[in-house]
Amino acid sequence: MTTSNIEVQELLIYPIRSCGAIKVNEAETTRYGLSLPSKPLLSDRRWMIVEEARPRDQLHVSRMALIQPTFTSSGLQVDAPGMPSLSIPYSPLSKDIINIEGLNVKGRRYGGEVAEWFSKFLERPGLDLIYFDEQFEPQRTKNIEREFPNEALDSDVIAYQGMSPFHLCSLESTDDLNKRLTNPIKIYNFRPNIIVSGVDKPYGEDYWREIQIGDQVKLRWFRSCLRCLHTTVNQETGIRDEKQEPWKTLQTYRRKPELYGIKAQFGTYLATSENGIIRVGDRIRVLREDKNF
């Protein structure tokens, strides 16, 4: 099936889990998600903030949303209100390797001025930053949140993402949600990698099982994205909504209890079938759908 009106509106890479996004005009798809075509190690959720050996995200510290990374020739630069810029190299890598509690994955811990910078801005002593080395065994998507069904393959993996290497949302779905809210939110609250427009109806992306982006890249669905209170953090202010919106509204009409219990869904999780370069403006062909989902 060809749907010629659907196109890529934005591409977003989140180098540090739960921190700001970097908008790019083109990206390469890899098994670990979107990366810079020229530097595949500069990719999505390659870094993560930890406390001792425990992962930390916006549910723990909502101010993480205000940390803005940018790509540099040697790695990352991070900026935040009232803080000096900090350079974070990806080479040479730290020799301090730790096991992350609750996740079957390791990380190289930076320590020193990097740890001090994050602890100071987030006002939480004992924080540090870790990096996912290509030598590490990745997390297997199939084994994450096993209480909910998914169609991930044994070969589907992630670095420090919560569940999926690719997360897609449509502007049409966000517009429909905003009609139900007193205070409209932006699609960035959902922290997608791929934002699309031109879907024929809100939540039409729920039914896509395989898509082609541009001439080469193919992505396949393996589960809906199940929403938590992450969505209540304003990504521009780092402040959590007191009324727990849009999470509460999603609970009223976006549940599929026979599959996901009390969890509300918004957006889709995807894995790669065929890799390549995707660009803003690329057309999307829906190759396979499940109308009965």
pTM of this prediction? 0.96
Across all residues in the chain, what is the average pLDDT? 95
Cis peptide before 81 (omega within 30 of 0): no
- CB-neighbour burial class of residue 126 (10 A; exposed 0-12, middle 13-18, buried 19+): exposed
Per-residue pLDDT reduced to its tens digit, 203-224? 999 999 999 999 999 999 999 9
CA–CA distances in Å: residue 98 to residues 50, 51, 208: 10, 12, 38
**For range 150-155, the mean pLDDT:** 95
pLDDT at 91: 85
pLDDT at 4: 67
Question: What secondary structure does DSSP assign to 247-280, as a single string?
Answer: HHHHHHH-B-HHHHTT-EEEEEEEEEEE--EEET
Per-residue pLDDT reduced to its tens digit, 101-121? 999 899 999 999 999 999 999
**For range 268-281, the mean pLDDT:** 97
**For range 128-147, the mean pLDDT:** 95
pLDDT above 50: residue 1: no
- H-assigned helices in the chain: 112-121, 171-178, 247-253, 257-260
Percent of the chain having pLDDT more than 70? 99
pLDDT at 74: 87
Q: Which residues of 60-73 are buried (b: 16+ CB within 10 A; e: fewer)?
A: ebbbbbbbebebee
pLDDT above 80: residue 2: no
Q: What's the DSSP call for residue 232?
A: G
CA–CA distances in Å: residue 78 to residues 61, 81, 168, 182, 237: 17, 11, 25, 34, 17
pLDDT at 3: 45
Q: How confident is the model at residue 125 (pLDDT cuts 50, 70, 90)?
A: very high
pLDDT above 80: residue 132: yes
**For range 176-201, the mean pLDDT:** 97
What is the distance between the alpha carbons of residues 291 and 293, in angstroms, rounded to a whole number? 6
What is the distance between the alpha carbons of residues 36 and 13, in angstroms, rounded to a whole number? 9
**For range 243-250, the mean pLDDT:** 98
Question: What secondary structure does DSSP assign to 5-37, as a single string?
Answer: T-EEEEEEE-SBTTS--EEESEEEEETTEEEET
Evaluate whether 44 touches 32 at the Cβ level (below 8 Å): yes
**For range 33-48, the mean pLDDT:** 93
Percent of the chain having pLDDT more than 90? 92
| Strand order across the 127-131 sheet | 54-55, 47-51, 127-131, 106-109, 97-99
